[in-house]
Structure 1
Amino acid sequence: MDNTVYWNAYLVRLFIPLDILLILFMITGVAGNGLVIYIYGLKMQNVKDGQYFIPYLAVADLFASVICSLFGLLTTLMPLTYEFDILCKFGWLLSSGTTFMSVFLLVSIAIQRYMKVCRRKGTMMTLKWKRIIIIGAVFLSAVLAGPSVVTYGSIPFKSINRNVTGMICGKITGTVSIVYDIVMVVGVILCCGFLIVPYCLIALKTHRYLKKEVQSRSELQKRRKNEKSENQNTQSSISTLDNEYSIPVQSNEQRSNESVIDLDNNSLSNYSTIIKKQAMKIRKKNLRLINKITKIFMIITLIFLLCSLPKITITILETLTPNFWENTTDFERLVLMFVHQGYILNNIANPFIYTFFDETFKTEIKNIFSQRICTRKRYTL
């Protein structure tokens, strides 16, 4: 027992850098996602169609960053004395539920982006369906996270090298755990497919559109060159004809009628060209907005995959390899814990992405801070 207490104290000191990182994750997650909820959910008056899910995703990320960071801190502060079985079970339940909620919202956003970009003439997600999707995401998250109460708990941990036994919060071996892991692996593969495939199709559609636009621009330039050359040829032919033949003299009434007809034709052609230009501007503006929002969500999804795949890999190795944690050294365990807790980065990265790529969000942040500075100056004066 004395060796277990000594080793537990040693691991607590070893995990101090990870504790600091988890505390930073929690503070950043609350501040960043709280700002996103305030701006997109309360401050913005005209939220675009593609930005509807952002406040709900921020709520899920806020809870996930707090719950997962606190749960990770309990694991690092009690590395060998985790005897609170109920705390372990509910910690896994809440952390899994909030993580699944973020995943399902990202999948919903990917499908919505695909429908918006690739199926613009088809049916779109209405407000009713968006609300149904959010309720469904909450329900599915609860259903998938529920079995973790049975599959995780406080279990004995024995070090082969040190010949010391302790208690950790880990996976309970058994048939239920194996079935649950298989379901989770299948679910992860499906979610990754629903995230990767729509954005690949969106990228392909955008590439084809840009290629078509480049071709149309080149064709338009060729037409303009041909029209200029034709106008020059007609002017030269008219001048030669004027030299050879005399033009019949027209009356004043005929000239005035022809000038009125020319003015009407010119005004109609100018009006039609103005309408076409305005329509093109509106279309280009809408396409830029759609592409910008799509780009933001593509980056969010990419960060989610990069942050989550290491955790998924460790979970699979933990399931397939017997005594996975028992065979690791103290330093290897620290590194694996850093990698394992790195998935929380996904829950705190989104506000930074919005700050860099969303001009409206950036402007709202500047306005908030400028207002606070002005109020502070008034109080000081």
Structure 2
Amino acid sequence: MDVDLDTEFQRKIMPTSVLYNIATSLGILGNVAVLLVYNFRFKRQEHRYYIPVLAWADLSGCVTNSVYFNTLDVYHVTYPSDPLCRLLSFLVIFNSGVSSHVILIIALQRYLTLCRPFGKQLTARARRLSLVIVTVLALIYGLPASYASGTRGQNMTSTCGIVSEDKKLFQKTYFGCMLFLNLLNILITAGLYLPVVRIVYNSISRLEETTFPENTETNESGETVGGSKVSRALAKHSMSLTVLCIIIVFIVSFLPSLIIQSLAMKQANVENSTSEINLYHFFGRFYTFNHVLNPIIYLGFDKKFRRKIISLLFNHKTT
């Protein structure tokens, strides 16, 4: 009977499962490519310091979320392992915490570079310290999830979730704090980057009105850029535009999940219709796209990264 219930749930949630399996598979490939290029094909540069770190967090997030979602979908009422449930619950929150805070630090770095170029910047020591702080904060976020989560069951069923009723207050307090901290992180990140957007917009507007001699303009990476006025203007601020897209994806991917989690705290039960189950889980898992889409953003805005990827795919040298 329990196996029949598992099979029935798999059938209902298949559209969402297939979509997220495809997404996480693409995310794994993309983030592996980012790590290969940024670690072995690029020289170390301050403005790209956090990109490999973010790729590691996103790669881990894609793998963890894929395993977590598939075990939940396949073993909906016959979850095989309490330690696995606790471990995956911890890793999902830990990876999301690392990723979101690294994005905040990237926004801070761009803010200091463009808005306060003559003020204090993030030194090598400060960058290393920031990663330690991010890791500690993510551990603080994730460890309570491993305490509250686990397998629970009755009448020979076993599901992965909050272990017992006596932890309901803890669940609401914990996830309430997580919702607040995630929203705070989003607001701080956006607040730091709005002045950067204003400076980049004004700079692009000026560049579009300027007549350039051939090959005299350089971008934020120190590379010479050419082409039309618009292409030069965009190329000059490629890194800032890349980070802007990363932040937009981060905010857009997290907000639906936060809304679903807020609703779930008030009404934990989900209706059994196929459409309602898929809508609930599709938007509840939407934060996964924060781990998936960053490599696509690099391909779109980082010309040097794009050339290196082409050289890897077709095995020829690029400059």
TM-score, normalised to structure 2's length?
A: 0.85
Give runs of aligned pairs for residues 207-218 of structure 1, distance below 5 A. 207-209=201-203
2:13 touches 2:274 (CA, 8 Å); kept in 1?
no
In structure 1, the residue matched to 2:13 is 15
- Secondary structure of the residue aligned to 1:67 is helix
**Is the 2:110–2:240 contact (alpha carbons within 8 Å) kept by the matching residues of 1?**
yes
Give the corresponding residue for 2:287. 343
Q: TM-score, normalised by structure 1?
A: 0.72
Cα displacement (A) at 1:16:
2.9
Note the C-alpha offset of 1:332: 0.8
Percent of counterpart pairs with the same letter?
21
1:166-315 → structure 2 map (5 Å cutoff): 166-172=157-163, 173-209=167-203, 281=217, 291-315=237-261
The answer to whether the Cα contact below 8 Å between 1:12 and 1:77 also exists between their aligned partners in 2 is yes
Q: Alpha carbons of 1:284 and 1:301: their partners in 2 closer, same or farther (altered >3 Å)? A: closer
Aligned residues: 302
Residues 117 and 290 in structure 1, CA contact (< 8 A), matched pair in contact too: no
Indicate if the aligned counterparts of 1:22 and 1:73 stay in contact, CA closer than 8 A: no
Correspondences of 1:20-169 after superposition (within 5 Å): 20-45=18-43, 47-82=44-79, 84-156=81-153, 166-169=157-160
**CA gap 1:213/1:345 in 2 versus in 1, 3 angstroms:** closer
Amino acid at match of 1:324: N
Q: Does the CA-based 8 Å contact 1:154-1:170 persist in structure 2? A: yes
Distance 2:295 2:168 in 1: 40
Instruction: Name which one, 1 or 2, has greater alpha-carbon Rg.
Output: 1
Q: Which has the higher helix share?
A: 1
Structure 1: how far apart are the matches of 2:28 and 2:203? 40
Please state how far the C-alpha of 1:210 moved relative to its aligned partner.
5.3
Q: What is the CA-CA distance between 1:90 and the residue it aligns to?
A: 1.1
Q: Which residue of 2 aligns with 1:360?
A: 304
| Cα separation, 2, equivalents of 1:330 and 1:168 | 19
The answer to whether the 8 Å contact 1:155/1:171 transfers is yes
Paired AA for residue 308 in structure 1: F
Task: Pick closer, same or farther for the CA change 1:282–1:71 going to 2, 3 Å.
Answer: closer
Distance verdict in 2 for CA 1:113–1:285, change over 3 Å: closer
Shift in Å, 1:18: 3.1
3-state SS of paired residue (2:150): strand
CA RMSD of aligned residues (A): 2.9
Mark the CA change 1:208 to 1:285 in structure 2 (over 3 Å): closer, same or farther: same
| TM-aligned CA distance change 1:284 to 1:310, over 3 Å | closer
Structure 2 partner of 1:227? none
Structure 1: any 5+ residue segments left out of the alignment? 158-163, 222-276, 374-381
The alpha-carbon deviation at position 49 of structure 1 amounts to 2.1
d(CA) in 1 for partners of 2:309, 2:243: 20
Check whether the contact 2:86–2:145 (CA below 8 A) recurs between aligned residues: yes
Structure 2: distance between partners of 1:283 and 1:350: 21
Deviation at 1:334, TM superposition (A): 2.2
Alpha carbons of structure 1 residues 213 and 363: separation in structure 2 relative to 1, 3 Å: closer
* Aligned-pair CA distance for 1:288: 6.6
Q: Residues 282 and 87 (structure 1 numbering): CA distance in 2 closer, same or farther, change over 3 Å?
A: closer
Distance across 2 between alignment mates of 1:343 and 1:146 = 19
**Deviating more after overlay: 15-24 vs 54-63:** 15-24
Instruction: Provide, for residues 158-213 of structure 1, a one-character-per-residue CA deviation record: whole Å limited to 9, x for no partner.
Output: xxxxxx99442223542221221222122112101121111112122334455677
